[in-house]
Amino acid sequence: MKNDLKVSFYLKKNEADSNGIASVMGRIRIGKAEISFSARKKISLSLWDTRSGRASGKSREAASLNRKLDSINGLIDARYMELQKTKKNVTPVQLKAAFQAIASKQTALIEYFEN
């Protein structure tokens, strides 16, 4: 089974506002498993290139978004490498949690003090 990491970006076109601006979403795929996440950015539908999964053109808005997407991609790759060192099989859910800095185990304050 291949465990290649693939990160892609797409627009949530069905939820675009009246001005034609939609949220940018990301998808983490490892092997056949995948999970989506929000890139927390919005862009005009006219500036989006579906084939490349990036903003097209050289406008300030397109360049800024593409830099942000490259940064997200780099962070996900770095977290994937870190997780591979400690775990044999990394799932997209684990990678998303690590990328978004979500603790996998959280202890309640009372439990912490009891220990």
pLDDT for res 28: 95
Number of Cβ within 10 Å of residue 22's Cβ equals 19
Query: Whole-angstrom Cα distance, residue 72 to residue 75?
Result: 5
The mean per-residue pLDDT over the stretch 60-78 comes to: 93
Residue 114 has, within 13 A of its CA and on its CB side, a CA count of 5
Say what the pLDDT of residue 104 is: 46
Query: Under 8 Å CB-to-CB from 52, ≥6 apart: which residues?
Result: none
How far apart (Å, rounded) are the C-alpha atoms in residues 39 and 107? 28
The amino acid at residue 75 is L
Percent of residues, the chain, with pLDDT higher than 70: 86
What is the structure's pLDDT at 69?
A: 94
Model pLDDT, residue 15: 83
Per-residue pLDDT band for 86 (boundaries 50, 70, 90) equals confident
30: nearest Cα among 69, 66, 76: 76
**Domain of residue 13, residue span:** 5-114
pLDDT (tens digit, 9 = 90+) per residue, 11-63? 998 887 888 899 999 999 998 999 999 999 999 989 999 999 999 989 999 99
**Residue 111 pLDDT grade (very low, low, confident, very high; cuts 50, 70, 90):** low
Domain count, the chain: 1
